[in-house]
Every structure is written in C-alpha cells, then in structure tokens.
Structure 1
C-alpha cells in the first residue's frame, strides 16, 4: 500500500469517526432536551405562574422542540445512497464486486466530509437553540419568582 493510499485510508477513518462523534453528541443532546422539556412541563403544570412567565416559558419550550427537530433532521438516515455511499442492499453480488474494485477513496472522503459538515452544522444550530430555550426557561423562572414576590 502506497503512502497516498495509507493517507486516504486514514482520512476516511477520521471522517467516519467524526460522523460517529457527532451522532453521539446529537443523541446526548436530544436526551438532555427531552429531560429539560419533561422537567419544565412538570414544574409549570403544578405551579401558578403569571402571564409573562407563561409566555417566556412557552417560547422557551417551543425553541427546545425546534432544537429537537433540528437534531432529528441531522441524524435522519439517508436511504438514497448519496454522499459516497453505494446502496449495497440494491446491488447484485457482481455489482458489489465491481463497485468495490473501482472504489475511489478520495470521492468517498469528499462525500462523507460533506455529510459530516451538514451533521455538525445541525448539531451546532441545535446547541444554539438549546441555549436560547434554556435561557428563556430561566427567564420564566425569574419572572415567576419576581412576579410572585411583588
């Protein structure tokens, strides 16, 4: 195996690992958002709140649901076989052999890298939305406490 082939193989492994890390982070953030939504709903349904607290909390929960939607979209399976993925399940054994023999690692790396960037961008947007939603929920608590004390 030449040095170029080794470098391509290492780059492919690196991109695949980055996709796996991004998917893991996405799963953890999705679980966190679910826990925050469940906790906020539990507290809000049993606590008398003033209108500004309801508005801030409601908007915060909507933003968190939007973040969950962005996360789900970023891990949605691509069954069309784009981004360098041959759709192995639709190929005959002969086509699989031909595809494997003519595999271009550089093309695979480019396609997977684009996929990784899309996933990473979605994760980043979801983190930003989660921070905004959490801040709105904190604002709702502050408004409820200050409004309740007044």
Structure 2
C-alpha cells in the first residue's frame, strides 16, 4: 500500500536516477568528443594505408553516431508536461490549482518512462563508443604494422 511518504520517496528516486543518467551522459559526451578530436588530429598528420583509413573512418563514424545519441538523450523536452515548461505557461492561480490535483503516482510513471528512455540511449551510445574505440585501435594496429614493413 502506498502512502504519501512512499510516493514522495519513489518520486525523488526517479528524479535522482534521471540526474545520474544525465551526469553519465555528459561525461561520456565529453569523452567521445575528446577521442574524436584526438583521432582527427592524429589521422590528419599521419599517412595511413587504406585498411587503416577504413577502420578508422568506421570508428569515427560510430563515435559521431554515439555523440548524436548522447545529445538526443539530454535534449530538453520543452513541450513536456513536467517542471519548467509547464509552469511557464500557467498563471499563478493555475499553478495553485494544478498543484492541488497532482497525481504523484502518474508523475512517477511518466518520469520513469523518461528515465528508461534516457538510460536506453546511454546504453546504446556506450555500445557504439566501445565498438568505435575498438575500430580506432584496429586502425592504429594496422598503421603500426603496415608502417613497420
């Protein structure tokens, strides 16, 4: 049986999970950006064989897709029904009336769906980052082995 305290605790937990996911997404986005910038700088100045270019290009492409997924998962939903966008469209009286009829369980369900969507995007971006990084490592190995001949 849910009580106002358990609903409030669940609501806070879901909001905290969204914040943690956004923090992880921001850190991964910074990492992917640094890897892309570093890889581009190195690849631009080093003559590479065709297989190394192909592997590196695929790796860079996957990292760009991962960055897109990360940006999409933290993109603000200005038309959403939670928080600032909702409050900015209401008068003071409408805010009071809305808060008087808040269904916390429905809000928890909506926020949970948002958290799962963000988490899914983050997982996909992590998978793409791993594969893209492996392809960049493969490109380095090909370049080093090819250059040693």
Q: TM-score range by the shorter chain?
A: over 0.9
Alpha-carbon distance in 1 for matches of 2:89, 2:43: 50
The answer for the alignment partner of 1:36 in structure 2 is 35
Q: Deviations over 1:94-135 (max 9, x none)?
A: 110000000010000000000000000000000000001000
Match of 2:45 in 1: 46
In the alignment, structure 1 segments of 5+ residues that lack a partner are none
Instruction: State the secondary structure of the residue aligned to 1:81.
Output: coil
Deviation at 1:35, TM superposition (A): 0.4
Name the count of aligned residue pairs: 148
Equivalence for 2:18: 19
The secondary structure found in structure 2 opposite 1:87 is helix
What is residue 146 of structure 1 aligned with on the other side? 145
User: C-alpha separation between the residues in 1 aligned to 2:33 and 2:72?
Assistant: 16
Which sits farther off after the overlay, 139-148 or 65-74? Answer: 139-148
Moved over 4 A (4+): none
Task: Give the TM-score normalised by the residue count of structure 1.
Answer: 0.95
> What is the RMSD of the two structures over their aligned residues, measured on CA atoms?
1.4
Inter-partner Cα distance in structure 2 for 1:51 and 1:81: 47
Other structure's SS at 2:80 match: coil
The residue aligned with 1:77 is 76
Give the aligned partner of residue 66 of structure 1. Answer: 65
CA drift of 1:79 comes to: 0.9
> What is the Cα deviation at residue 149 of structure 1?
1.5
Q: Any gaps of 5 or more consecutive residues in structure 2?
A: none
